[in-house]
Amino acid sequence: ASLQVLDGLDHAISRRGAHVAYLGSGEHPVALRVLGPDDLAPGEAGFVRLRLGSAYPMLPGDRFVLRESGRSETIGGGEILDIDPVTKAAEAKPDRSVDRVIAERGWITSNQLFLLTGERRDPTIGEWVVEDEIFNAARVALKERVENADGLGLPLAELDVRHRALIDFIDDIGVDGTHVRVIDAADALKDHPFLAALDDAPFAPPGADRYDRAEVRELVRRGLVVQTEGLYFSAAAVEQAAQMLAGLLAASPDGVTVSDIRECWDTSRKFALPLLAHFDSTGVTRRRDDVRIGGPRLPQR
């Protein structure tokens, strides 16, 4: 706040003393700090920071009178410049500029800006008003993070809501599933070696330990790989298994045993049971006692 000290005082104004600010019709005990010098002399104008003990509605431009209750004297009066300062008192340069409020906060929602200043500004991005320099620097920094990420791109989960809003304002990057990546970059999952390994042994697939976990999760998310009970099958193998099972059930509509299915798929229980669990959960099959019967999503023959 600004403060004009009365000429008639016989002492300087500092943080010492018990001060009371009169705002509107209210009387509020305040902690006073002079900004810049240690004190303000009689007749001198300067800036102060007033800390109220409780919240009180006000806006920049509101006037106040300051008294020192211990001396029972009026010290002076001034104008509110910032109702919720965020800079350190030693660095504060208060004024009524809305641009200063934006710059000091970096990112501020248009609604919060209105509450702090009484002025409405159109959002720069999403719901935020952002200083141009900060906005452009954030775009450059995010693009560099995406360009320096691994083949999958930058995990979307690592970005807060502000940085997610930035994506649409940056050329050549976009969201691909759970990652942000350079649009024209080669897809790290195209011709992935894990897919080839799964296709080579469709009903006795290898484990995923040799491969990057994030890449394996993305293969599952894209539907290229099916995970069931800790094992992984290629989507093509799952489709092939369902077609073979449909043929088996067409010949034995009353149900087939796990042994029948294992023989059909030419695999062991280790792989047959997880695959059957997947089919049970997705409606391809239904379990009836010790046999499997066709479910509503069993492929038609």
Q: Structural domains in the chain?
A: 2-91 (2.40.30.10), 98-130 (no CATH), 132-182 (no CATH), 189-301 (1.10.10.10)
pLDDT greater than 60 at residue 174 = yes
Encode 44-54: b = buried (16+ Cβ within 10 Å), e = exposed: bebbbbbeeee
Q: What count of other Cβ atoms lies within 10 Å of the Cβ of residue 6? A: 14
- Whole-angstrom distance, CA of residue 86 vs CA of residue 102: 11
DSSP secondary structure of 28-93: EEEEEEEESSS-B-TT-EEEEEEEESS-----TT-EEEEEETTTTEEEEEEE---SS--S-GGG--
- Whole-angstrom distance, CA of residue 95 vs CA of residue 118: 14
pLDDT of residue 188: 64
* Pair of tokens at residue 230: 């800790």
pLDDT greater than 80 at residue 151 = no
Q: Contact, 81 vs 95, CB < 8 A?
A: yes
pLDDT of residue 60: 94
pLDDT greater than 60 at residue 260 = yes
> How many residues are listed for the chain in this entry?
301
Q: Contact, 246 vs 300, CB < 8 A?
A: yes
Helices 269-282 and 235-251, axial angle in degrees (round to 10): 80
pLDDT of residue 185: 56
Give the H/E segment covering residue 98.
helix 98-105
Which of these, 115, 110, 121, lies nearest to 57 by C-alpha position? 115
Q: What's the alpha-carbon Rg for the chain, to the nearest Å?
A: 35
Q: List, for residues 3-51, the tens digit of each pLDDT value.
A: 999 999 999 999 998 999 999 888 999 999 999 888 999 999 999 999 9
Task: Tell me the H-state helices in 201-268.
Answer: 213-221, 235-251, 258-265
| Model-wide pTM > 0.75 | no
Which of these, 145, 139, 148, lies nearest to 166 by C-alpha position? 139
Give the H/E segment covering residue 195.
helix 193-200
SS3 210: coil
Degrees (nearest 5) of the Cα angle 285, 288, 292? 40
- Integer angstrom CA distances of residue 243 from 35, 151, 284: 79, 34, 10
* Pair of tokens at residue 136: 């452009």
pLDDT of residue 187: 67
Structure-token match 């087939």, residue found = 256
Structure-token match 């006000």, residue found = 58
Confidence of residue 178 (pLDDT cuts 50, 70, 90): confident
Q: 83 vs 188, which has greater pLDDT?
A: 83
Task: Tell me the H-state helices in 106-185.
Answer: 110-117, 132-147, 161-166
Bridge partner list, 20: 29, 67
Structure-token match 């799952």, residue found = 238
The phi-psi region of residue 165 (left if phi > 0; otherwise alpha if psi is between -120 and 50; otherwise beta) is: alpha
Structure-token match 């010949």, residue found = 251
